[in-house]
């Protein structure tokens, strides 16, 4: 057999490991895909010579059925990232304003810049919650306003009633992106009836992803749903041949394996509670995070040196705050070891 060229070896060698207890900076799922999802994806590889559907109708229909909305309400994107860009391109013009919290998911200021929008930021309160009154006020002069629930990086969840009051205040020609990238980690009592919300508020787009709880970040599949009128506008921007077949089969197999997925999600949520508890018992403040990460607001400690020194990849913020993705128990032990050493 011929020796593979060095470039190929280099590329294959640089593929990240599915399991790496120290990789805690991107809120990824810490384990490889479920066996059933893996088998379904493997089957799709043999038809890589064929284009996927011109527009992702089948995936749209699958997701609509699962979420409980009409097909005409759903759009598909390359992750939640692709969906958000699609919304911005469809509803805004360069120079318009986009309102977001600070800090927030790193992507939002980048997406605003890509769409040539002006970002207006509204600081979170000291416990990591949105100031929804200030955001509604800022939204009066904006084209788009984004609220994450749970929020990234704090993991906090605004009460459903507060979200409704906020939506009632936002002008109907301002589009609200309700980012639910981590919604699957929420216990039932914290969930919002999102299909009902988009029925009542024609300017809301709910954005979700298969990158987080479903553990498929590398496949780049996300979706949004909204009222049918707005859905038609967004679907008109749907990229032809833009969703690979592997995405369709992985989503179908994931829905089929829902009970196993739910079990994995419960495991991550339990691990998050354990990590929060242990950090708090060491005297550290962490926000009331409900997703697959824990946030330590700035407290005068030099966390970067602490985690870098332990070889842990976590997300550091300019003010000194840090966001740590929840992984396996091995990851939790490594985090606690590093923190304990720093606090001695
Ligand atoms: C709040 C939030 N929204 C959107 C995304 C983008 O996710 P993806 O494009 O992988 O679906 C992320 C990723 O970290 C996120 O944290």
Residue 1 lies in a domain: no
CA separation for the pair 138, 176 (Å, rounded): 12
Which of 220, 240, 256 is at the close of a domain? 256
79 and 166: one domain? yes
237 and 280: one domain? no
- SS3 assignment, position 241: coil
19 and 68: one domain? no
Rg, the chain, Cα only: 21
Q: Ligand 1, residues 29, 76, 152, 178: which to mutate, most atoms within 8 A of Cβ? A: 152
Ligand 1 centre to CA of 81 (Å) is 6
Which of 196, 227, 256 is at the close of a domain? 256
**How confident is the model at residue 1, as a pLDDT?**
57
86 and 178: one domain? yes
Cis peptide before 55 (omega within 30 of 0): no
316 and 243: one domain? no
Assign residue 338 the CATH number of its domain: 3.90.1150.10
Residue 277 lies in a domain: yes
122 and 66: one domain? yes
**How confident is the model at residue 271, as a pLDDT?**
98
Assign residue 144 the CATH number of its domain: 3.40.640.10
Q: Ligand 1, residues 209, 220, 221, 295: which to mutate, most atoms within 8 A of Cβ? A: 209
Ligand 1 centre to CA of 157 (Å) is 16
Residue 152 lies in a domain: yes
97 and 151: one domain? yes
Place of tokens 């060491």: 282
State which residues form the domain around 282. 6-32+263-343
117 and 238: one domain? yes
> Cβ–Cβ contacts within 10 Å for residue 233, how many?
13
76 and 210: one domain? yes
How many structural domains is the chain composed of?
2
E-strand ranges in the chain read 74-77, 97-102, 118-123, 144-148, 175-179, 204-209, 222-225, 293-296, 315-316, 322-325
**H or E stretch covering 169:** helix 160-169
Joined tokens for residue 91: 């509803």
285 and 252: one domain? no
Ligand 1: which residues within 6 Å by Cβ?
27, 79-81, 105, 107, 148, 152, 179, 181, 209, 211, 217, 222
Mean pLDDT by 10 residues, the chain (344 residues): 80 92 96 94 92 97 98 98 98 98 97 98 96 98 97 98 98 98 96 97 98 97 98 96 95 96 96 98 96 94 92 95 97 96 86
E-strand ranges in 72-203 read 74-77, 97-102, 118-123, 144-148, 175-179
CA atoms within 13 A on the CB side of 42: 7
Residue 234 lies in a domain: yes
Ligand 1 centre to CA of 5 (Å) is 35
85 and 156: one domain? yes
**H or E stretch covering 265:** helix 258-281
Which atom of ligand 1 has the smallest separation from the CA of 84? Answer: 4
Distance set, CA 247 to CA 34, 38, 60 (Å)? 14, 11, 12
| pLDDT tens digit sequence for 216-258 | 999 999 999 999 999 999 999 999 999 999 999 999 999 999 9
217 and 173: one domain? yes
Residue 26 lies in a domain: yes
- Give pTM, 2 decimals: 0.96
- SS3 assignment, position 277: helix
For residues 208 and 180, is the Cβ–Cβ distance under 8 A?
yes
Ligand 1 centre to CA of 83 (Å) is 10
Place of tokens 């987080």: 212
């Amino acid at each position: 057999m011929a020796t593979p060229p060095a470039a190929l070896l280099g590329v294959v060698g640089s593929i990240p490991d599915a399991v790496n207890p120290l990789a805690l900076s991107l809120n990824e799922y810490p384990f490889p895909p479920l066996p059933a999802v893996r088998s379904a994806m493997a089957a799709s590889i043999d038809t890589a010579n064929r284009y996927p559907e011109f527009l992702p109708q089948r995936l749209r229909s699958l997701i609509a059925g699962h979420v409980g909305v009409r097909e005409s309400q759903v759009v598909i994107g390359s992750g939640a990232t692709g969906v958000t860009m699609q919304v911005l391109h469809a509803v805004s013009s360069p120079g318009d304003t986009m309102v977001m919290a600070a800090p927030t998911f790193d992507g939002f200021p980048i997406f605003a810049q890509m769409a040539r929008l002006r970002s207006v930021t509204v600081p979170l309160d000291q416990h990591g919650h949105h100031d929804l009154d200030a955001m509604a006020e800022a939204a009066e002069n904006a084209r788009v306003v984004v609220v994450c629930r749970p929020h990234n990086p704090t993991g906090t969840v605004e009460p459903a009633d507060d979200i409704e009051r906020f939506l009632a205040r936002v002008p109907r020609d301002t589009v609200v992106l309700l980012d639910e990238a981590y919604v699957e980690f929420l216990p039932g009592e914290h969930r919002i009836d999102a299909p009902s919300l988009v029925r009542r508020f024609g300017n809301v787009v709910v954005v979700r992803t298969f990158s987080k709880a479903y553990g498929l970040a590398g496949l780049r599949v996300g979706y949004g749903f909204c009222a049918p009128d707005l859905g038609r506008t967004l679907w008109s921007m749907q990229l032809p041949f833009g969703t690979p077949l592997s995405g369709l089969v992985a989503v179908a197999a994931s829905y089929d394996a829902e009970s196993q997925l739910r079990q994995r999600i419960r495991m991550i949520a339990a691990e998050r509670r354990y990590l929060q508890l242990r950090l708090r018992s060491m005297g550290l403040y962490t926000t009331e995070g409900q997703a697959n990460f824990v946030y330590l607001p700035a407290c005068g400690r030099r966390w970067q040196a602490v985690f870098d020194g332990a070889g842990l990849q976590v997300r550091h913020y300019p003010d000194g705050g840090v966001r740590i993705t929840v992984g396996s128990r091995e990851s939790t032990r490594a985090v606690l070891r590093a923190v304990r050493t720093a606090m001695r």
